[in-house]
Chains A and B, each alone.
Chain A
Amino acid sequence: MIVVKVPGGIKKEVSVAETLTLEWKPMTILQWLGQLGIEEKQVGAVLVNGKPKKMSHTLEDGDEVQILPVLSGG
């Protein structure tokens, strides 16, 4: 199982934050985002067990994933 926290507004149709528990599969973050219907460019960062990881990172069983929204630069 993996636990994925998705902030509100990242998917157009879901305005509130949700926490999803999903059956683990050996997929990269990018593939998981695709499965969840989230566009990569809507994602500010992905933390896996609290550490930022690249889109090519493969998730492991038991991972806790937090998706963060995009921010404006400076």
Chain B
Amino acid sequence: MDNILRINTRTRTIQYETTPESYLKTGGRGLIAKILLDEVDPACEPLGRHNKLIFAMGLLTGTNVSSASRVCIGAKSPLTQGIKESNSGGTTAMRLAQMGLKAMILEEQPEDDHWHYVKISKGACSLEPAEAYLGMGTGEFCDAIHKLYPGAAVSCIGPVGEMLYSSAGIATTDADHKPGRFSGRGGLGAVMGSKKIKGIVVLGKDTMPLADKEGFMAALKTYTSVVKDAPSTLNYRTLGTASMVRIMNGHGGLPTHNFSLGRFDGMDQICGETIFDVITERGGDGRTSHACMPGCVIQCSNIYPDIEGKAIVSPLEYENLGLLGSNLGISDLDTVARLNALCNDMGIDTIETGAAIGVAMEAGVAAFGDSEAALGFMEDIRRGTVLGRVLGNGAVVTGKVFGIRNVPAVNGQAMPAYDPRAIKGMGVTYATSPMGADHTYGATARAQIEQASSVGQAELSFSTQKNMAVYDTLGFCIFCSGAVGNQHQLIADLINARYGWSVDVPWLKSIGEETLKNEHLFNQKAGFTKAHYKMPECFTERVLPGVNTVFDVGQEELEQVVEAHLEGRRTLKP
């Protein structure tokens, strides 16, 4: 039980290894950081043979604990040149855990031109020829695989991963077997493509062993009712993350026209309430609430249908409404949904793509609000035209090519849909994350704080980062955190009953701190210094209209956050 599956893509050898003692009490993002530190030279080239692509399971993944089976995927990033972990919902991690795997490591790269997909079932793994699937979108690939293996869980890349774009992601099938969940960030799809692996296919299901079945069922009952009854859960289930459109617009932090504005005239047409009404009116495949993985009681996902009721995309959520909608000046929901679906099918990160197109629009390649042009860019990206390759390599590359300095990115990675001048804690997170601008690293937008003030934001981001690291290391969806609040004992009880351990809340906190420390250590060894962790000048010197402020949390405070993580400190100040 709990093996590590190691696949050498050059020699095409497959090995099952017993999980070393030092990896047993960690998982997900924490385990990825440990394996990368132990096995990968931080100075290696991300698309070269020394990098490794790791899938790591959380400590409760595979059980029927709600929202605890995120698939955590990591490597050194071709986009940021630092450590990267990107997790998503879907079914792959649940199935890999049920196949007795704690982690899967893809290493080396082929010396020939042959492509494969990895097929995994209980106790068996093989590399199957994948040439026939090259060029296929994620949807077509999954359909082809499901013809062979109905119901299989799949994580795969699209054509842009094959072309090694720095913003290629990895798509994972949801509970309806559609590849709509994305480990989108950091170019992990290019790392998979560099190893000539088109996808991971997991067959079979099983139940997880439980050290104390009765104790587990009792803890599960309490945990489930806490999550189910929380007011935040009702919000996630009703409007999902799209509820943030109106709120961020209210804060003046909804990225609009390449982050030059924070309020969007067309906000009312793309907000969560409108999406709810459109889905309800159109009916058909549409769902205002939907679970991305079996057993999730929060069900924040949705299915957005076209006028005929046929699904366009699932889910349609906040980051994409911001980056592919308001940031491009596009207020037509159907267009935003189509842009999102095209990104998903070619396997590219929606956030990076929206940001790159925003930069191109500022350069005048097309006007803000030009839906046809935006859809045309998608075609360029997929076909691999010169413009498509520029956009597909992200916002920073696009800015360089077009001579635009207003590029919303930190350490090579584009910002999600929170303007850091309006939501300053999020700005601290963007600047101090070892993974480039990433909201999931420390999402502060719901905190009771004056969001546009610089006071207290470093402390807020620091503590939020620690909390998120715990959830990511456990393989939990961070959307549970609103419901669980401070009741972390609920999670400790589940872990203890699953494994027969006796961990407590301080231990839970410590695994988050260890994760953050290891990630920063990896970057330090890769050549990152404290000076890398900073906000670009287009946010520290360009005033955000409406909020009338720049990002003004001091560089010393940002560096203090990084230093505190590196030293494994409990508190921000020594």
The yes or no verdict on A and B being binding partners is: yes
Using a CB–CB cutoff of 8 Å, the interface residues on chain A facing chain B are 7, 9, 12, 17, 40-45, 47, 51-55, 66, 68-74
Residue B479 at the chain A interface, CB threshold 8 Å = yes
Answer whether A71 and B235 are a contact pair too, CB < 8 Å, given A52-B273, A54-B273, A55-B246: yes
Number of B residues contacting the other chain (C-beta, 8 Å)? 38
> Nearest chain A CB to B250's CB is how many angstroms away?
4
Contact between B238 and A68, CB atoms less than 8 A apart? yes
B283-300 near A? 1/0 per residue, CB < 8 Å = 000000000000000001
Contact between A69 and B247, CB atoms less than 8 A apart? no
Q: Can you list 11 A-B pairs with a CB-CB distance of less than 8 A?
A: A40-B250, A69-B446, A70-B244, A71-B235, A71-B479, A72-B443, A72-B446, A73-B241, A74-B300, A74-B439, A74-B440
In chain B, positions 309-366 with a C-beta closer than 8 Å to chain A are: 317-319
- Across the two chains, which residue of chain A brings its CB closest to B271? A54
User: A residues within 8 A CB of B481?
Assistant: 72
Partner among A51, A55, A66, A72 whose Cβ is within 8 Å of the Cβ of B445: A72
Partner among A44, A47, A74 whose Cβ is within 8 Å of the Cβ of B478: A74
Residue B394 at the chain A interface, CB threshold 8 Å = no
Contact between A71 and B243, CB atoms less than 8 A apart? yes
B216-249 near A? 1/0 per residue, CB < 8 Å = 0000000000000001101110110101101100
Contact between B232 and A73, CB atoms less than 8 A apart? no
User: A residues within 8 A CB of B446?
Assistant: 69-72
Interface-central residue, B236, B251, B274, B440, by most chain A CB under 10 Å: B236
Answer whether A52 and B318 are a contact pair too, CB < 8 Å, given A41-B247, A74-B479: no
A73 vs B440: C-alpha distance in the bound complex, in angstroms?
8
User: B residues within 8 A CB of A66?
Assistant: 234
User: B residues within 8 A CB of A9?
Assistant: 448
Partner among A12, A42, A51, A71 whose Cβ is within 8 Å of the Cβ of B232: A71
A9 vs B247: C-alpha distance in the bound complex, in angstroms?
16
Partner among B250, B272, B418, B443 whose Cβ is within 8 Å of the Cβ of A52: B272
In chain B, positions 263-280 with a C-beta closer than 8 Å to chain A are: 268, 271-274, 276
> Nearest chain A CB to B393's CB is how many angstroms away?
25
User: A residues within 8 A CB of B239?
Assistant: 44-45, 52
Answer whether A71 and B238 are a contact pair too, CB < 8 Å, given A52-B272, A52-B273: no
Contact between A45 and B439, CB atoms less than 8 A apart? no
A68 vs B244: C-alpha distance in the bound complex, in angstroms?
12
Residue B209 at the chain A interface, CB threshold 8 Å = no
A45 vs B121: C-alpha distance in the bound complex, in angstroms?
43
Residue B482 at the chain A interface, CB threshold 8 Å = yes
- Across the two chains, which residue of chain B brings its CB closest to A39? B250
Contact between B241 and A71, CB atoms less than 8 A apart? yes
